[in-house]
Structure 1
Amino acid sequence: MSRRSWWVMFSVLGASAVLLPAAALWLAAQALQPQPIAAPGAPLAISDLNAARRLISREVLSQAFQGEPLTLALTASQAQALTQDMGARVLHAPSSLHLSEQQADLAVSLPIRQTPLRALHPLGDWLNVRVRLSAPPSGAPVLQAVQVGELKVPPALALWAAQRIAEARGLRSMAELGLAAIETVQLSPTQVSATVRWRAELSAQASALLVPPEMIEALSRAHHQLAQQLRPAAAQTPATPLHWHRPLSELLPPLMAAAQQRSLALAFTASAPRLHDEAARDNRAALLVLGLYVNRVSLATLVPAARDWPALPVRPVTLQGREDWAQHYLTSAALATDLGGRLSDLIGMYKELLDASPQGRGSGFSFNDIAADKAGVRLGRIAVQQPQALQARMAEVQADTDLLPDVRDLPEFLTAAQLQQRYGGIDAPAYRAVMQDIDRRIAQTPALR
């Protein structure tokens, strides 16, 4: 290479070293702003959740999974309230939604100090994001425009970035399946409605996505272990099992013990990352098998091969004498292993609020149900984040209170009016105090420390 060529190359490298950081700083300065564009919303009213009841109705969901269309309609105020609540709880950021004819404008203001870009806070305290969606004649909403601060981002680039983020978190395939199920979306200044249909081909894709071959093997091990635990003792008469129930503290530890034995056997040959992944998979399988069982849902709905596995006798499983607490606990735990704890927290809270609604059919808002949900979420998190530690800890479980703290003293069956009168509604100081007490109790529970 000639002297001139070397000189040109070093000049280009030197200019790049100066211009690229300068360009990055300019982009950051354009993206960051001193004030948020979205203001914190008012606390979510229970009435704003009434329309969402259909989303958690077992009868409606059963029909939806058989191919029946499911339509959800929200008023503009309900959609705005849910947007603000989800933004506050999931992103810890204020958000807003504005509806117009076949268009929706969403704004989110992210506090820069709570993001990986916190070092740039001298350039601005807020990362304001504006998104415009339009509703086509059929299918999911279409991304029309994106703006970050003063920067206009091409929709194709924003969509590409969103796909990369979803892929990094293992959510892209599930998100694409959900979008494919949307048949129509209708937007107007006063209402938003969406119709979804879960077609047979989507069920097949979801099953293949949710239950890969290695997970089927783990589910089979957990299923066979549970069948063995549920086998009636020889001394029982045929009539006895009709009233026989099993405490969760008698069923979960043996399943975890079997998973631990497999982990110990793998420890001699598997690398540390593989051992962690295998232990987490076995834990997830145990919680999923038990979660489906307590809710009386056949595993064959997810894994067709399970039809040939041993039949499980129908027996109530209880947690501190309550079958509903076992259902709350295990459902939340199974959800938390795949969907993340914060989403499971939201599902549990919204379910309790709907139960308290005057228009609902639930038994009322129960803080002890919330405690069972939150304890289950913690169990699910530990199951995948510290899988071997949880397997060892389960060997010490002797009673149901080792899995869930005693929460019988917490108020339950509250109507919406009672919840508002006694606690000021969700997120009021009195409500938060009870939630903090629940978190403290859970943190002191032997299996969940």
Structure 2
Amino acid sequence: MLLSTAALWLAAQALQPQPMAAPAAPLAISDLNAARRLINRDVLREAFHGEPLTLSLTASQAQALAQDMGTRVLHAPSSLRLSDQRADIAVSLPIRQTPWHALHPLGDWLNVRVHLSAPPSGAPVLQAVQVGTLNVPPVLALWVARRIAEARGLRDLAELGLLAIDTVQMSPTGVSATVRWRAELSAQASALLVPPAMVEALSRAHHHLAQLLTQPAAAQTHAAPPRWDPSLSVLLPPLMAAAQQRSLARAFTASAPSLQDEAARDNRAVLLVLGLYVNRVSLATLVPAARDWAPLPARSLTLQGREDWAQHYLTSAAMATDLGGRLSDLIGMYKELLDAAPQGRGSGFSFNDIAADKAGVRLGRIAVHNPLELQARLTAVQADTDLLPDVRDLPEFLTAAQLHQRYGGIDAPAYRAVMQDIDRRIAQTPALR
């Protein structure tokens, strides 16, 4: 009885009738311009070799981005206020949309305020946390955050990202963060992201891909054989057929949960190897031992004749196997908005790129959550349209002004209608049903 009374009292103190943060205004594409360097392949390659990478945002840009991410990731209004080497973040969670919805008579909103400070070097430090009118010890708040990240499979990645932060500068006018990918972080990343069993799966996928890419050239009898640029529907079926054969062999010895886990690992390996290959990133970036593996011939991997669609599709699929679909969707959407920014060098906003991102996310999620079924589906693939619906009719290369003029900007009714059409097409795609 005493515990129940105490729990109700805590809930009453935590819940409030009004949100602390106001609903977010629509994100302006100009708010993302400063982040353009983060998707530049050359800049990222230099960063992985130890060059510092700095991102600077004005206060209004940081506020707009924080509000937009709060809405899309947490489905909750949020706010950010910057001061000298301090940041105050507020998030208002609608209690009816949480597992504690039965407590809504005590208050409709769970308001959380977080206070951060920036030390001379390293990541920001948590100074204080307030939930409703309750002051929560930072140690307890960090413990809860780690448990949540661990439950979502993101704890190791989050801690590694924090270690990469070199300095953070905050003021009322803006925020600037510099990250440096030091050599010791590569070793930690390899240990965290690629356990020994995954290294074996990556090695199998890598050597099988090398064989597939080399065979057509070896069969040519011309002195100068024509270049062979494979489509994804040519490479995925044999790679997944090999994974399926291993799954069938394990079926006689492994338990059902173990069989699912091992099949998911093989699927991850195939998608990661292809995702790195199509983006021309060496697997040795993650697995140092891969430097001694068979080299992969340089080819342009395509999807429906487009290398950029293959890049969107496979990058999103590989990310979705570990990061989850919502985050992968979010990254793809932001990337397209950056391409539409007038100050940038992007090709413009393309709905068919978004379709490739979304289809890849769906593939990646099935690869993990229904791995044996996906192996069977991909082994039977005969054409690129089995992997990605025909989206050539969708508008592409739109500038920011054109996107707003024709569709009212992101999340407007016309924009959402196109997204719903894309989702319908993907749901009817043979490999993704």
Of the three residues 397, 400, 418, the one matched with 2:402 is: 418
**CA–CA separation in structure 2 for the residues paired with 1:396 and 1:352:** 32
Query: For 1:230 and 1:172, how far apart are their aligned partners in 2?
Result: 36
* Shift in CA distance, 242/85, structure 1 to aligned 2, threshold 3 Å: farther
Of 336, 340, 362, the match for 1:352 = 336
TM-score, structure 2 normalization:
0.97
8 Å contact from structure 1 (residues 232, 241) kept in 2: no
Aligned residue runs from structure 1 range 365-384, under 5 A: 365-384=349-368
Q: Deviations over 1:163-207 (max 9, x none)?
A: 222222222222111111112111111111111111111111011
Write the letter of the residue equivalent to 1:272.
Answer: A
Q: Report the equivalent of 1:331.
A: 315
Q: Residue in 2 aligned with 1:193?
A: 176
* SS of 1:318 mapped into structure 2: coil
Letter in 2 for 1:224: H
Q: CA deviation at 1:309?
A: 2.1
- Please name the residue that 1:77 is paired with: 60
2:414 is matched with which residue?
A: 430
Pick the aligned partner of 1:264 from 239, 248, 252: 248
Deviation of residue 241 (structure 1)? 5.1
Q: Which residue of 1 aligns with 2:268?
A: 284
Name the SS for the 1:374 alignment partner: helix
Whether the 8 Å contact between 1:244 and 1:315 is mirrored in structure 2 is: yes
Distance in 2, Cα, partners of 1:216 & 1:166: 24
Letter matched to residue 375 of structure 2: Q
Q: Which of 198, 219, 222 is residue 215 of structure 1 equivalent to?
A: 198
SS of equivalent to 2:46: helix
Q: Partner of 2:189 in structure 1?
A: 206
Identity %: 85
Return the alpha-carbon distance in structure 1 between the equivalents of residues 20 and 225 of structure 2. Answer: 61
* Structure 1 residue identity aligned to 2:293: W
Q: How many residues align?
A: 432
Q: Counterparts of 1:72 and 1:239 in 2: how far apart (Å)? A: 50
Q: Which residue of 1 aligns with 2:137?
A: 154
Residue of structure 2 aligned with 1:275, choices 259, 268, 293? 259
Task: State the TM-score, normalizing by the size of structure 1.
Answer: 0.94
| Structure 2 gap segments, 5+ residues each | none
What does 1:293-332 align with in structure 2 at a 5 Å threshold?
293-332=277-316
SS of the aligned residue for 1:28 comes to helix
CA gap of 1:106–1:238, structure 2 versus 1, over 3 A, is: farther
Establish whether residue 114 from structure 1 lines up as the match of residue 97 from structure 2.
Answer: yes
Structure 1 residues 323, 32: CA separation in 2 closer, same or farther (over 3 Å shift)?
A: same
Post-superposition shift, 1:87?
0.4
Alpha-carbon shift at residue 267 of structure 1 (Å): 0.8
SS at match of 2:215: coil
Note if contact 2:83-2:171 (Cα within 8 Å) is conserved in structure 1. Answer: yes
1:363 aligns with 2:347: yes
* Alignment gaps of 5+ in structure 1: 1-17
Structure 1 pair 240/108, CA: closer, same or farther in 2 (3 Å)? farther
- Tell me which amino acid in the other structure corresponds to 2:365: R
Q: Please name the residue that 1:445 is paired with.
A: 429
1:387 counterpart letter in structure 2: P
Of residues 116, 140, 149 in structure 2, which corresponds to 1:133?
116
1:384-403 correspondence runs (5 A): 384-403=368-387
Query: Which segments of structure 1 move beyond 6 Å, counting only runs of 4 or more?
Result: none
Contact 1:145–1:155, Cα closer than 8 Å, also in 2: yes
CA RMSD of aligned residues (A): 1.3
Q: Return 41-50 or 390-399, whichever deviates more.
A: 390-399
Cα separation, 2, equivalents of 1:32 and 1:290: 47
Could you give the per-residue CA deviations for residues 93-114 of structure 1, whole angstroms, max 9, x where no partner exists? 1101111121111000111122
Summarize the Cα distance change of 1:238–1:134 in structure 2 as closer, same or farther, 3 Å threshold: farther
CA–CA distance in structure 2, aligned partners of residues 168 and 69 of structure 1: 31
Question: Is this contact kept in 1: 2:115–2:129, CA < 8 A?
Answer: yes
Partner residue in 2 for 1:408: 392
- Residue 73 of structure 1: SS of its match in structure 2? strand
Residue by residue, what CA displacement relative to the aligned partner does 1:93-142 show, whole Å, maximum 9, x if unpaired?
Answer: 11011111211110001111221112212221111101111111221111
- Per-residue CA distance 1:187-245 (angstroms, 9 max, x = gap): 11111111111111111101111111000000111112212222233542456655321
What letter corresponds to residue 368 of structure 1 in structure 2?
N
Cα deviation digits, residues 11-63 of structure 1 (max 9, x gap): xxxxxxx1001111111111111211111111100000000011111121122
1-side partners of 2:91 and 2:60: how far apart? 17
Change (3 A) 1:410 1:240: farther
What's 1:232 paired with?
A: 215
8 A contact 2:153–2:322 mirrored in 1: no
Give 1:342's aligned residue: 326
Q: CA deviation at 1:326?
A: 0.6
Which is higher, the Rg of structure 1 or of structure 2?
1
Alignment pair present for 1:59 and 2:38: no
Would the alpha carbon gap of residues 445 and 239 (structure 1) be closer, same or farther in structure 2, given more than 3 Å must change? farther
